[in-house]
Amino acid sequence: MTDKLAFIFPGQGSQQVGMLADYMGEPVVRDTLEEASQILGLDLMALFSRGPAEELNRTENTQPALLAASVALWRLWASKNPEAKLEFLAGHSLGEYSALVCSGSLDFKEAVSLVRKRGLFMQGAVAQGEGAMAAILGLSDDQVIEVCQSAAQGGVVEAVNFNSPGQVVIAGGAGEVKRAAALAGEAGARKAIMLPVSVPSHCALMKPAAEQLKVELEKISIIAPSIPVVQNVSASVVTEPEAIRNNLVAQLYSPVRWVESIELMHKSGVAQFVECGPGKVLAGLNKRIVRRVPVTPLESLSAMDKLLEELSQVSA
């Protein structure tokens, strides 16, 4: 165990009915969810506990719900461990907004409203059924990129999430993605799995959404983070507010460079990661990126308390 920590924040796909159930007795968590609920006109505590799943999984609800969940856990952590020093923060796709809020770079209330609009813009950029995503397992990054180039045939299909060695997600037009998935199989992929999503995130089809997001981002204040944030687009620490703003726009149509981001933090001295949000998707990815580095998902209050106890023993 080490006190050189980085917090990582999950994106879409980590939500589920029942999330944060173990934390609902904590006033900090309830207050954070109520704050977001008032902005959204949506009862997040009820949505988390009872669903329905279809409502939670609507992109314009999922994005602010996950942001609020991650920030709630962060605030609880900070209240229990106000002296904690973190080396880095990073978030996967939507999770980058959580990281920026927790670093003090983005205001929570503004971010809640912003990511709801982000979800609406993304949903509106491509008609239902016209976009798709697929996970390609067992090929190198270069092989996946080559498969996409062969499958595009004038359309759009791109490698968009470099999640872990041997796991790359592709996105684009539905026909092009299916063609690329078939070609990946021929190239030796272990699996090519079509994902149950309605929006082909992080590819060129999201450029209209990015233009709309840019207008909204120009309306809000962004300040330099108090904790270094590694951004998806550059896989590097970005501190200048205008660069952060530009990267958030570009993120909608650019790959998530998650492997490089985790490797950067590890090479910079981080030897313990904490997944701050529902689920443990990022923990699973991290174990394939930096295999011997512990990663603790804050799935339960007992998990958080255990981690706090371990850290207190290290620093004692």
Active site residues: 93, 202
DSSP state letters, 72-122: HHHHHHHHH-TT--EEEEEESTTHHHHHHHHTTSB-HHHHHHHHHHHHHHH
* Residues present in the chain in total: 316
Structure tokens at 76: 């609880």
186 contacts: CB under 8 Å, gap ≥ 6: none
For 111, 182, 192, 195, the CA distances from 146, given in Å and listed in that order, are: 36, 13, 15, 20
34 contacts: CB under 8 Å, gap ≥ 6: 44, 45
Helices (H) and strands (E) in the chain, counts: 13, 10
